[in-house]
Amino acid sequence: MDTTLGLALLLSLVVLVVAVAALVVLTGLLLRTRTRLLGLERGADAPPAPETDPVTGLLTGAGFTAVVAAAQRGAAHGGHPLALLHLGLDGFRAFNSTHGRAAGDAVLTEVARRLRSAVRGGDEVGRLGGDEFAVLLADPGAAVDVAVRLLAVLEAPHEVGTARVVLGVSVGVAHRPGGQHAEDLLAAAEQAVAEAKAAGGGCVRVWDPSAALARGAELRTAQALHRAVAASAAGVAADPADGCLEVHYQPSVDVRSGVVSGVEALVRWRRRDRLVPPGEFIELAERHGVIADLGRAVLARSVADAPLLCAAAGRALVVAVNVSAPQLRDPALPAAVRGAVERLEGRPLVLELTENVLVAEDPGTEAALDALVGAGAHLTVDDFGTGYATLAYLRRRPFTAFKIDRSYVRDIESDPRTRALVEGLVLLASATGLGLVVEGVETEGQARLLEGMGAPTHQGFLHARPAPLEQACEVIAALRARLDGTDPAAAAPGEPVSPSRRPRGSA
């Protein structure tokens, strides 16, 4: 009986303990749920206090963005515009790496102090991160004046130990009507400060919505060009909206020997029923990193078309392809050139580079040119006489020929000084053993003068305009017939080819 009673009491005690424990757990859950609910209610009425930067005591980037967002909402209701300043310290990273983080933090703290002292009541100041600060202005009408004043305040020397250090400041100003996202206003000011830095720093730039639209349009055009290049490289049809790449060919003629000597490949971009001028899209390709892919695509197309062009000429032609300075940084270019040389099967491959490559004092340029020569290409200076190259540069670089620019040829008949300059270039080529092609030959008088000087290799509209492959083959075949005497209009056997008998091919 005693044993039974003891067991019963023990069991009751266990049940009681379990019940109390369950009650404690349940109470805790209820309290935590209530706390969260109260927190949500408070959050709906009052936002949490913005975070502050531990170094400067200013609002952090997140806190400042929250303040801008709240101001945007208020501006949307009141119809008031906003203005924001984005400030970046010029050269701060170099200063930080030289003097150390402690000195850098001291400068940032001093910048924050100066900003607080210089802004007006109602303006909000934040540190966006690193060496970048921002000010939200209560009076946006005076944004540029405030920016100029802050520029002067922040460029005053900083005392770093025993040294006085001056750091430049770039300021971007953005105005935006209320109702837009805070991120839009911040991005606009960031773009403006980037433009200030690109201009050399130490200045103020105001964000221009029309310029932003132009940049957006340029980016869309660059993306279309990139897709057109990718389609060409893959050998697939491009989207009509992107347009397509075409390679046109312009022959060069050796009037002394009476043969078509070579062709220059010239890329064209056909888009929206027109040919985009190379002056527009080549620079676009360089700015947006498309030029390397574009160059390799043109090289591949030229090599593939070479057999048909050579068949039309009845001989192996020199195939010339243009290479811009940024393409020299393409690590895949030498391998592409080596493959092109192999596929040309003995036909010479010439890469034409402008004079700015000659004057580049960059060891990487030297190595890139040597790699192209090692891959089997011949290098020609294009548009010689239009840049800043000297004869010393021409001697030091591995070029085997140069092309006299059309600007010299244009006035050769009417200007004795120009004629003397061209004659001097012809003598230079002869004395140094460099090959020579004269561009822009458009009249018979020009052709006669050049041939008399000893410059018989001509390229220009007198002989043929650049044309797509099929039409270029027809023009080359016609040139061949006239130059080798198989055409009725050609010269008699043994008679020098007269410019008057040269065809004016057109595209």
**Is residue 451 in some structural domain?**
yes
Question: pTM to 2 decimals?
Answer: 0.64
Euclidean distance between CA atoms 69 and 179, whole angstroms:
9
Q: 435-472 pLDDT, tens per residue? A: 999 999 999 999 999 999 999 999 999 999 999 999 99
**Is residue 37 in some structural domain?**
no
Do 359 and 243 lie in a common domain?
A: yes
Instruction: Report the pLDDT value the prediction gives residue 129, as an integer from 0 to 100.
Output: 92
The parent domain of residue 332 ranges over 220-501
Do 440 and 481 lie in a common domain?
A: yes
Helical residues (DSSP H) of 253-290, grouped into ranges:
278-287
Do 109 and 183 lie in a common domain?
A: yes
Reported confidence tier of residue 37, pLDDT bands at 50, 70, 90: very low
Contact 170, 196 (CB under 8 A): yes
Q: CA angle at residue 11 from 10 to 12, to 5 degrees?
A: 90
314-341 b/e (C-beta count within 10 Å ≥ 16 → b): eeebbbbbbbbbebbebeebbebbbbbb
Q: 468-494 pLDDT, tens per residue? A: 999 999 999 999 998 876 654 444 333
**Is residue 46 in some structural domain?**
no
Do 69 and 141 lie in a common domain?
A: yes
DSSP-derived secondary structure letter, 257: T
Do 326 and 455 lie in a common domain?
A: yes
Q: How many other β-carbons are positioned within 10 Å of the β-carbon of residue 386?
A: 15
Q: 1-13 pLDDT, tens per residue? A: 455 555 455 455 4
Q: 14-31 pLDDT, tens per residue? A: 444 445 444 434 444 443
Q: Which of 207, 231, 264 is the last residue of a domain?
A: 207
Query: Residue 318 belongs to what H/E stretch?
Result: strand 318-322
Do 226 and 97 lie in a common domain?
A: no
Contact 361, 389 (CB under 8 A): no
Do 228 and 368 lie in a common domain?
A: yes
- Which residues, other chains included, contact 475 with Cβ-Cβ below 8 Å and sequence gap of 6+? 251, 464, 467, 503, 505, 506, 507
Do 156 and 238 lie in a common domain?
A: no
Q: CA angle at residue 451 from 441 to 351, to 5 degrees?
A: 60
**Is residue 194 in some structural domain?**
yes
What are the two backbone dihedrals, phi and then psi, of residue 272, each rounded to the nearest 5 degrees?
55, 50
DSSP-derived secondary structure letter, 397: S
Question: Nearest Cα to 476, choosing from 310, 348, 322, 265?
Answer: 310
**Is residue 32 in some structural domain?**
no
Contact 355, 383 (CB under 8 A): yes
Q: 178-201 pLDDT, tens per residue? A: 446 788 888 889 989 988 888 888
CATH code of 304's domain: 3.20.20.450
Do 129 and 236 lie in a common domain?
A: no
Do 239 and 353 lie in a common domain?
A: yes
Instruction: State the residue for tokens 């595209």.
Output: 507
Rg (CA), the chain: 36
Q: Which of 207, 239, 259 is the last residue of a domain?
A: 207
**Is residue 392 in some structural domain?**
yes
Q: 59-75 pLDDT, tens per residue? A: 999 999 999 988 888 77
Question: Nearest Cα to 441, choosing from 452, 420, 456, 425?
Answer: 456
Do 249 and 158 lie in a common domain?
A: no
Domain count along the chain: 2
CATH code of 98's domain: 3.30.70.270
Do 230 and 195 lie in a common domain?
A: no
- Residue 202 — left, alpha, or beta (φ > 0 → left; ψ -120 to 50 → alpha)? left
Q: 378-427 pLDDT, tens per residue? A: 999 998 877 665 666 677 788 999 999 999 999 999 999 999 999 999 99
**Is residue 21 in some structural domain?**
no
pLDDT reading at 319 higher than 90: yes
**Is residue 341 in some structural domain?**
yes
pLDDT reading at 505 higher than 60: no
Q: Which of 182, 207, 232 is the last residue of a domain?
A: 207
